[in-house]
Copies of this chain bind each other. A is one copy, B any other.
């Protein structure tokens, strides 16, 4: 068991490293203008929009990835493979972001960006299934599993529509992508009393067995 946990921790740490590099190298695409005026800076708004959208997206993906790997029990070959597939799809984000920014939000590049988001979602669902399939029923209620599936497919659907829409109407497609991201980020869900999002609430929920159980006996 100790070995499994050690491997899971390294898988987490490696994934965190990849996420932190991807979210940071996005900024390498932000080329400062030649002129030294505010007008020249403002003319870069498509680059700014592309950067903000990608940053938000990777941040949300990190939170989700963190969440799903909490339920992983053993570092099976399939889990490692699906995790690499997920990281691969996330690693395409800087490429599509750069294309979108340089072409000032043209149709096909925005569609590619949405397509990459779809791919990230598909590999995330694959990771989710591998993890949840193996987790006990006691730990993750049928309702939670259902919610998870519904949300995954809703997002997948919205990004797919955005992808098709963007080819002709890139700004509408991008707007739809932004709505999805903001939906994930809104601080309060309508039917919750607290000041935390339903999305992140699970981070505070008690878990069956601590991955870092070496701290448990001290409390």
Residues on A close to B: CB < 8 A? 1-7, 9-10, 12-14, 16-28, 30-33, 36-38, 41, 55, 59, 62-63, 66, 70, 74-78, 80-81, 84, 87-88, 91-92, 94-96, 98-99, 102-103, 106-109, 112, 185, 187, 195-197, 199-201, 203-204, 206-207, 210-219
Determine whether the beta carbon of A196 is less than 8 Å from that of B9: no
Q: Given A19-B14, A77-B196, A216–B218 Cβ distance below 8 Å?
A: yes
Q: Given A2-B213, A16-B14, A21-B20, A77–B27 Cβ distance below 8 Å?
A: no
Copies in the complex: 4
Determine whether the beta carbon of B25 is less than 8 Å from that of A18: no
Determine whether the beta carbon of B62 is less than 8 Å from that of A14: yes
User: Which residues of chain B are near A107, meaning CB under 8 Å?
Assistant: 36
Determine whether the beta carbon of A201 is less than 8 Å from that of B77: yes
